[in-house]
Structure 1
Amino acid sequence: MNNTTKKDIWIIGSLLFLSFVPSIAGVVRISQLTTGSGYTVENQRFFDDPVPILLHIVAVLVYSILGAFQFAPGFRKLYPKWHRVSGRVLVFFGLTTAISGIWLTMVYPRVPTDGDWLFGIRMVIGFWMVICICLGFYFVMQRKYLIHSHWMIRGYAIGLGAGTQVFTHLPWFLFVGGDPSGIPRDLMMGAGWLINFLFAEWIIRRKNK
Structure 2
Amino acid sequence: MTTSSKKDYWIIGSLLFLSLIPAIAGIIRFHQVMTGNGYTIENQRFFNDPIPVLTHIFSVVFFSILGAFQFAPGFRKKHIIWHKISGRFLVLVGVVSALSGLWLTLVYPKVPTDGNWLFGIRLVVGIWMFICIFVGFIFILKRNISKHSHWMIRGYAIGMGAGTQVFTHLPWFIIVGGDPSGVPRDLMMGAGWFINFVFAEWIIRKKNS
Within 1, Cα distance between the matches of 2:70 and 2:10? 13
Q: Which runs of 5+ in 2 are unaligned?
A: none
Within 2, Cα distance between the matches of 1:182 and 1:35? 31
Q: Please tell me whether residue 141 in structure 1 is matched to residue 160 in structure 2.
A: no
- Aligned alpha-carbon RMSD (Å): 0.5
Q: 1:59 offset after TM fit, Å? A: 0.1
Within 1, Cα distance between the matches of 2:36 and 2:110? 22
Match of 2:198 in 1: 198
Match of 2:102 in 1: 102
Mapping of residues 1-209 of structure 1, within 5 Å? 1-209=1-209
Per-residue CA deviation, residues 30-55 of structure 1 (Å, 9 max, x unaligned), is 00011111111111110000011000
Within 1, Cα distance between the matches of 2:111 and 2:22? 19
Tell me the amino acid that sits aligned with residue 208 of structure 1: N
Counterpart secondary structure, 2:116: coil
Within 1, Cα distance between the matches of 2:187 and 2:42? 21
TM-score, normalised by the number of residues in structure 1: 0.99
Per-residue CA deviation, residues 44-73 of structure 1 (Å, 9 max, x unaligned), is 110000011000000000000011000000
Within 2, Cα distance between the matches of 1:65 and 1:49? 26
Counterpart secondary structure, 1:45: helix
Identity %: 69
TM-score, normalised by the number of residues in structure 2: 0.99
**How many correspondences in the alignment?**
209
Q: 1:107 offset after TM fit, Å? A: 1.0
Q: 1:172 offset after TM fit, Å? A: 0.3
Q: 1:166 offset after TM fit, Å? A: 0.3
Instruction: List structure 1 segments (4+ residues) > 2 angstroms apart after TM superposition.
Output: none
Within 1, Cα distance between the matches of 2:33 and 2:99? 21
Q: Which runs of 5+ in 1 are unaligned?
A: none
Within 2, Cα distance between the matches of 1:51 and 1:89? 20
Within 2, Cα distance between the matches of 1:80 and 1:19? 23
